[in-house]
Amino acid sequence: MEDLKGKMKELSAEEKADLDQARITADEETVGTKKLFIESYGCAMNFADSEVVTSILRDEGYSTTSKEYEASLILLNTCSIRDNAEQKVRKRLALINARNKGRKGVKVGVLGCMAERLKTQLLEEEKIVDMVVGPDAYRDLPNLIKEVEGGQKAVNVFLSREETYADITPVRLGSNGVTAFVSIMRGCDNMCSFCVVPYTRGRERSRSASTIVAEAQDLFDKGYREVTLLGQNVDSYKWKNEAGEIETNFAQLLALVADINPLLRVRFSTSHPKDITDEVLHTIKKYENVCNYIHLPAQSGSNRILELMNRTYTREWYINRIDKIREILGEDCGISHDMIAGFCTETEEDHQETLSLMDYVKYDYGYMYYYSERPGTPAAKKFEDDVTLEIKKKRLDDIIQKQRGHALERNNLSIGTIKKVLIEGVSKRSDDFLQGRTDDNKMVIIPKDKHKKGDYVQVKITECTSATLKGIALAEELA
């Protein structure tokens, strides 16, 4: 079964509306195996976890399918960051149960953050799943499946202080054969007042640098040309020796992965403004294959709101980090953000400070949401969710429109320049075009010609939108 190559595809526009870009497993060309269907929601960490789950279940004789009705095991890997995501998953579970009613032997499970948070409701009150499995319990899946097959409901949401799945080789479900995720750590020690992650994914722990480098080396040897190092807060990565001394920090890890081969691009996500260091920035500058792009969530531009959010930095600190990025890496460095509109007690003045921060930075891209209270978080316990939905939506629209303007402004700066683009595959809009990314994370569309996935191509940028660059290739594959 070693030659099986799992793939994922995105749902149609209608299917994925408001579903946080759910991904489902695609068909594997195998016979005589049990069929597994996984639908994954939320962050890149969840998609990477689904690759670990598939690897574990492959050893139990499962292969993946894109057809829910073919599967004997249906798993939803869930997100609890926003209430909308949870409600959509509940609707999906109700639909799955209705569609599969009467099919013998079909089992349904919920994985991930929502599983840990809502285990009682899902199993005992709503009775819409057969098993609930938290992010640190995936090794126990074979035993839990046996319990379910024996007629029992099964649950394991134990949060571990050690589990990193470092010894499990993920099945590259979302693979285009060019780019891949590599998890370098799990959990989070930052207690942002709005966030459920510390409660659903547990305390922070890092993988050994040697296992990360080995996984990245294996990917390169198999033809991959880009890895994204994943963590809730990559800048706090630290691998300690037996004496408890820090042996490898994040800047050093970046260098180790970059040294695998100059043709292997290295990205990372997510950085925390309080932890990103000048050492990391200088490492990015030193290595041409460490991408000139940083995702640096701000959440708000107001010091008062940042304090209520327990972000542990100020607007001034954040601007200092932005200034240092520009100083060391230059104006071309891509910077993206997270912003939350309408947090508890947010005033119009607070909102204007967020917009003015955006004007200062001029982000290339952003992930923007209005505040969704999560039960059990410090914010839910301490503060009243007192900003009306109407105001939240209006302020979110202000942020989105501001970001679109800045993105277009930033993309316009690329017109007439030459960019090194890693081709990731065929354009979603036309088979006559290819799409790839620059090292500052901008999507580029070029005519297909003789180029193919995995090629590095020099591209002259000729036009743009707020989301995409378009250009013409100037050379064949580059070393």
Domain ranges of the chain: 8-156, 179-412, 418-473
pLDDT at position 1 is 34
188 in a labelled binding site: yes
Higher pLDDT, 242 or 285: 285
Model confidence at 29, pLDDT cuts 50, 70, 90, reads: low
333 in a labelled binding site: no
pLDDT digits (tens, 9 = 90+) for 147-187: 999 999 999 999 999 999 999 999 987 678 999 999 999 99
Q: What DSSP string runs through 441-478?
A: --EEEEE-TT--TT-EEEEEEEEE-SSEEEEEE-SS--
Number of H helices, E strands in the chain: 14, 23
Hey, which CATH number is domain 418-473, 2.40.30.10, 2.40.50.140, 3.40.50.1000, 3.40.50.300? Answer: 2.40.50.140
CATH architecture assignment, domain 179-412: Alpha-Beta Horseshoe (3.80)
pLDDT at position 476 is 55
- Work out the average pLDDT over 375-398: 96
43 in a labelled binding site: yes
In terms of Cα–Cα distance, which of 181, 179, 202 is closest to 49? 181
- Work out the average pLDDT over 429-442: 95
Q: Is the predicted pLDDT of residue 479 greater than 70, yes or no?
A: no
Provide CATH code, domain 8-156.
3.40.50.12160
Higher pLDDT, 122 or 361: 361
pLDDT at position 18 is 38
Q: Do domains 179-412 and 418-473 have the same CATH topology?
A: no
- Work out the average pLDDT over 190-208: 94
Residues 237 and 231 sit within 8 Å (Cβ to Cβ): yes
Of 118-132, 385-399, 439-453, which range is least confident?
118-132
Which amino acid is located at 352 in the chain? Q
Model confidence at 16, pLDDT cuts 50, 70, 90, reads: very low
Residues 372 and 84 sit within 8 Å (Cβ to Cβ): yes
Model confidence at 5, pLDDT cuts 50, 70, 90, reads: very low
Taking the model in full, what pTM does it have?
A: 0.90
Q: Is the predicted pLDDT of residue 382 greater than 60, yes or no?
A: yes
Q: Is the predicted pLDDT of residue 11 greater than 50, yes or no?
A: no
In the numeric block, which tokens belong to residue 346?
């947010």
Q: Is the predicted pLDDT of residue 4 greater than 70, yes or no?
A: no
For CA atoms 183, 185, 187, 189, the dihedral sign is: negative
Using CA atoms, how far residue 112 sits from 39, 48, 470, 472, in Å, is 11, 11, 38, 42
3-state secondary structure of 210: helix
Q: Is the predicted pLDDT of residue 17 greater than 60, yes or no?
A: no
- Work out the average pLDDT over 135-143: 96
Q: Is the predicted pLDDT of residue 31 greater than 70, yes or no?
A: no
pLDDT at position 126 is 77
pLDDT at position 147 is 96
Q: Is the predicted pLDDT of residue 74 greater than 50, yes or no?
A: yes
In terms of Cα–Cα distance, which of 297, 272, 306 is closest to 189? 272
- Work out the average pLDDT over 206-214: 96
pLDDT at position 162 is 93
